[in-house]
Every structure is written in structure tokens, then in C-alpha cells.
Amino acid sequence: MNNLNVQAVQELEVAELIVATLNLEVQPADIDPLAALYGEGLGLDSLDILEIALAISKTYGFKLRSDDENNPKIFSSLRDLNLHIQQNRVK
């Protein structure tokens, strides 16, 4: 499996986590990896982001801190969130 396929599988896994956590009425595969998660795009708000951060902590074994200055970049898109997870995951 090449890197693009691995990335697509990982992004789908993260999209599934987001949809399940927030009970969204969208198919995980329909989430554009480059679309904004917050505000425009997927339309998430700050409470949604907190719920996702908690689910990521439980699933991948590392904490996302609310005071991290990189949060706007980390949560800017599914692709950026996945990249951050893959760089920091413990499990």
C-alpha cells in the first residue's frame, strides 16, 4: 500500500471518529479532507472540537491541549488533524 492509500485510510478512520463522536448526519467518506472543520466547511463549533479532542485522546493515547497555539492549524482540516494524530499517536 503506498503512502497516499495509507493516508486515505487514516483520514477515513479519523472521519469515522468525528462522525460517531458528534452523531453527524454525514458519511465519513463524504468529508472532504481539505475542507475546514471549524465554522465553514463541516461547520463544527468550539464544543464540537472539545468533544473530538477528548475522543482523540481516548482513541490514540495523547492529549490535545486547549491552550495549544497550533490548534487553529491542527483543526483546520481533516487532513491536518490526521497528520497531527499520526505524528503524536501512542496507540
Tell how far CA 45 is from the center of its chain.
13
Q: What single DSSP character describes residue 34?
A: T
Tens-digit pLDDT profile for residues 49-89: 999 999 999 999 999 988 899 999 999 999 999 999 999 99
Q: 19 is in which domain, residue-wise? A: 3-88
CA angle 6, 58, 28 (to 5 degrees): 45
pLDDT at residue 17 in the model? 98
Q: Which residue has the cell 468525528?
A: 18
Exposure of 27 in the CB half-sphere (CA atoms within 13 A): 2
Q: What single DSSP character describes residue 44?
A: B
| Number of domains observed in the structure of the chain | 1
pLDDT at residue 85 in the model? 97
Indicate the pLDDT class of residue 1, thresholds 50, 70 and 90: low
Tell me, what CATH number does 37's domain have?
Answer: 1.10.1200.10
**Residue among 84, 85, 77 nearest 33 (CA):** 77
Tell whether the model's pLDDT for residue 3 goes beyond 90.
Answer: no
What pTM did the predictor assign? 0.92
Q: Mean pLDDT across the stretch 29-57?
A: 93
